[in-house]
Amino acid sequence: MSRFYSPALTRRAFLTSAAAGAVGAMLPVSRQSPAIAAAVREIQLRVAPGRARLLPEPSSEISAWCYNGTAPGPEIRVRQGDRLRVEVENGLAEETTVHWHGVRVPHTMDGVPHLTQKPIGAGERFVYEFDAVDAGTFWYHPHQRSFEQAGRGLYGPLIIEEREPVRVDRDVTWVLGDWRLTKSGAVSEDFGNMHDIHHNGRVGNTVTINGRVPDTFAVRKGERIRLRLINAANARIFSLDVAGHGPVVIALDGQPVTPHMPDGGRVVLGPAMRADLIVDMTGEPGSRVSIIDRFYEGLEYRLVDLAYGDTPLRGRAPDWPMALPTNPLPEPDLKNASRNEIVFNGGMMGEIVAQDMGESMGQGAPGGMMRDMNPMMGGMMRMMNSGPAWFINGVAADEASHDMKPMLTLRRNKSHVIAMTNVTAWHHPIHLHGHSFRVISRNGQPTRHREWQDTVLVSPREKVEIAFVADNPGDWMFHCHVLEHQAGGMMAVFRVA
Ligand code: C2O
Ligand code: CU
C-alpha cells in the first residue's frame, strides 16, 4: 500500500515568492524532520525556451526548449528509497507536464495531461512528489504534445542509485538525442507532419550524447565503466556496436537483468528504452575504438570514439561481480494470469516502405551528422493527409485530448498477460505506465532472460507477450513511444481497479 502512497501535500506549496525566485537551481534538502525516514530531495525544474550548443564553436548555439536552461535537462540523481519533490515551473507559451518514465509513481504523479492531471499552463506550477521505489536508470519528459516538446530538447535523466551499487571505476550516463536540423542549423519546424506520423516518425539528422555531437570519449586501459544509455529520441532506434568490447547488459529499462552479452554484441534501444552496461576498457593505451550505430541498414555511422589515454589504469579487467540487487517487483503468476490480446495496425504498408525509408533517413556521415532532408518530398505522401494513422485493437486515440475510454480493465493485484501482435511494417517501442512487466515470449519462443521492461520494442509482424501484476491502481497510458505514432493515435488506456 504504502509503496503507492499519494502525498497529501502535493497541492500545497510554492507559496513563497522566495521559492519562486530560486528556479534553475537543484536543491538537495536534508531531511525535514526525524519522523521522516527517507531523505526528501527537493528539485526545481523550470521549463522554458533556451539555447543549446550541439557542436563546438565556431558553430553557433541553436534555439531549443530546456529544463533549467539546458537540453537535456539536469541529471536528477537520488538514492533508492528517497522521496522526490519536484516543483515544475512552466515558462513555455503552451501547456506542459512532466512524466517520470519508468518510475512506478502513484497515478496522480504520472504527468499525463487530462488523464492524471490538468496540464500545467503557461506561467503555472505543479509539484510532483513520489518515492524512488526502484533503483535504476530512468528519465523524464513532457507528455503534452511530446512529439514537439521532446523534439525541441525537453528530456532529462533520472538516476536512482542502489543502496549497494555494483563496483565500477566510473558511472557514466549517456542521454542519446536525435535532432532534425535544417541546412542553416536550426531545429526543423515540421513537427507532427503527416509523413513522419505515417512512417517511422521524426528520425533526425544529428545525433547527440548529453546534448553534444560527440567526437571522443576518454577512457583508460583496464577501466570498468557502468554506462547508462537512455534513448531520448522521438523516433530513432539505435543498435550500438562497441567493437570487440563485449559490453555486458546488467539492467534494461532500469530493472536488473541477469548479466549477459547482448545478441550479436549489439545494444538495441528503441525510443524511451534504457540499458545499463558494464564495459571493460580492454583496448591498448593510445588507441581509438569507434562505437558504430548499425540499426538502419546502409546508414551506419560512427557515434563516438573511445580514446585511450597513455597510462593504463590497471593491467587487465577487474573481476568484480556485476549482478545488481533486485527491485521490489511483484512476480506475475502465469498459471493464473488473465490473458488479453492486443493488435497494432496502421501506417504505410508494402513496397513503398523500403524506398521511402531511405528517402527520409538521409545518408550516414561522421559524427552523426546526416544530409539534410525534406520529409514532405514525394507528393504521394500528401494523399494521406488527415485522419488517424495508427490503431490499437482498431481504435485510434485523440492525442490532443487524451480522452480515452479504458481499453482494458485489469483486476488489481492480479497477474495479467498481454499478447501484442504487430501487423504493421514498422517497429514500435510499446510503453506501459505505472508498472514494469516481464517480456516472456517473442513469436511464441520464451525469452532467455524474461527481462523486466517498461518499453518493449516490437518488430514488424512480431508477436510479443508481456506479464505483470497490476498492483498500481488508476488509468494508465499504453502507447507507442515513437512520438509521432503516439500523436497519430497509437495509444490506449488500461484501467487497474
Ligand atoms: Cu515516456 Cu507515456 O511515456
Ligand atoms: Cu509506433
Span 236-271, pLDDT tens digits: 999 999 988 989 999 999 999 999 999 999 999 999
Distance separating alpha carbons of residues 205 and 493, to the nearest angstrom: 33
Task: For residue 85, give the DSSP letter.
Answer: E
**Joined grid coordinates for residue 105:** 509513481
Atom of ligand 1 nearest to the CA of 272: 1
What pTM was computed for the model? 0.87
The number of beta carbons lying within 10 Å of the beta carbon of residue 71 is: 27
Q: By alpha-carbon position, which residue is closest to atom 3 of ligand 1?
A: 101
Query: Average pLDDT in the 325-332 region?
Result: 98
CA of 345 to the centre of ligand 2 (A): 10
Residues 6+ apart with CB under 8 A from 460: 422, 424, 425, 426, 427
The pLDDT assigned to 58 comes to 87
Distance separating alpha carbons of residues 272 and 279, to the nearest angstrom: 21
The pLDDT assigned to 362 comes to 35
Q: What is the 3-state secondary structure (H, E, C) of 40-72?
A: EEEEEEEEEEEEECCCCCCCCCEEEEEECCECC
The pLDDT assigned to 361 comes to 38
The pLDDT assigned to 367 comes to 33
Query: Average pLDDT in the 307-320 region?
Result: 96
Domain with CATH 2.60.40.420 in the chain: 18-165, 171-308, 334-496
Using an 8 Å Cβ cutoff, are 374 and 205 in contact? no
CA 456 to chain centre: 11
Report the range out of 7-11, 120-124, 370-374 with the highest average pLDDT: 120-124
Query: Average pLDDT in the 329-342 region?
Result: 97
The one-letter amino acid at 432: L
Atom of ligand 1 nearest to the CA of 491: 2
Phi and psi, residue 396, nearest 5°:
-105, 130
Atom of ligand 1 nearest to the CA of 479: 2
Using an 8 Å Cβ cutoff, are 108 and 6 in contact? yes
Using an 8 Å Cβ cutoff, are 274 and 139 in contact? yes
Least confident of 149-158, 297-306, 371-380: 371-380
Using an 8 Å Cβ cutoff, are 117 and 11 in contact? no
Distance separating alpha carbons of residues 435 and 457, to the nearest angstrom: 16
Question: pLDDT tens for residues 456-472?
Answer: 999 999 999 999 999 99
Distance separating alpha carbons of residues 132 and 314, to the nearest angstrom: 35
How far is it between the farthest Cα atoms of the chain? 66
The pLDDT assigned to 189 comes to 97
State in Å, rounded, how far the first CA of the chain is from the last one: 14
Distance separating alpha carbons of residues 240 and 490, to the nearest angstrom: 27
Using an 8 Å Cβ cutoff, are 357 and 284 in contact? no
The pLDDT assigned to 37 comes to 59
Q: How far is residue 9 from each of residues 16, 19, 93, 119, 126, measured CA to CA in Å? A: 15, 16, 27, 19, 12
Query: Average pLDDT in the 155-172 region?
Result: 97
CA of 428 to the centre of ligand 2 (A): 4
Looking at domain 171-308, its CATH superfamily turns out to be Cupredoxins -  blue copper proteins (2.60.40.420)
Least confident of 73-87, 146-160, 380-394: 380-394
- Say whether domain 18-165 belongs to CATH 2.60.40.420: yes
Pocket of ligand 1 (CB under 6 A): 99, 101, 141, 143, 272, 431, 433, 477, 479, 481
The region, left, alpha or beta by phi > 0 then psi within -120 to 50, assigned to residue 349 is beta
Distance separating alpha carbons of residues 209 and 207, to the nearest angstrom: 7
Question: pLDDT tens for residues 380-421?
Answer: 333 344 567 999 999 998 877 777 899 999 999 999 999 999
pLDDT above 80: residue 54: yes
- Say whether domain 334-496 belongs to CATH 2.60.40.420: yes
Strands 491-496 and 408-410: parallel
Tell whether the torsion through CA atoms of 248, 291, 451 and 147 is positive or negative.
Answer: positive
Which-ligand-closest: CA of 430?
2
Which-ligand-closest: CA of 270?
2
CA of 184 to the centre of ligand 1 (A): 31
Question: pLDDT tens for residues 346-387?
Answer: 987 632 343 343 333 333 333 333 333 333 333 333 334 456
The pLDDT assigned to 138 comes to 98
Ligand 2 being an ion, which residues bring their Cβ within 5 A of it? 428, 480, 482, 485
Distance separating alpha carbons of residues 465 and 438, to the nearest angstrom: 8
Query: Average pLDDT in the 425-447 region?
Result: 98
- Sorting pLDDT into bands at 50, 70 and 90, what band is 334? very high
Question: pLDDT tens for residues 441-456?
Answer: 999 999 999 999 999 9
Task: For residue 395, give the DSSP letter.
Answer: B
Q: The cell 518530398 sits on which residue?
A: 377
**Joined grid coordinates for residue 218:** 576518454
Residue-averaged pLDDT of the chain: 87
Specify which residues 455 forms β-bridges with.
Answer: 431
CA of 355 to the centre of ligand 2 (A): 19
Using alpha carbons, select from 111, 195, 235 the residue that is nearest to residue 375.
195
The pLDDT assigned to 399 comes to 77
Distance separating alpha carbons of residues 149 and 141, to the nearest angstrom: 8
Looking at 4-150, list the stretches that DSSP marks H as alpha helix, in order from N- to C-terminal side.
17-21, 146-149
pLDDT above 60: residue 335: yes
Percentage of the residues of the chain whose pLDDT score is greater than 70: 85
**Residue 356 DSSP SS3:** helix
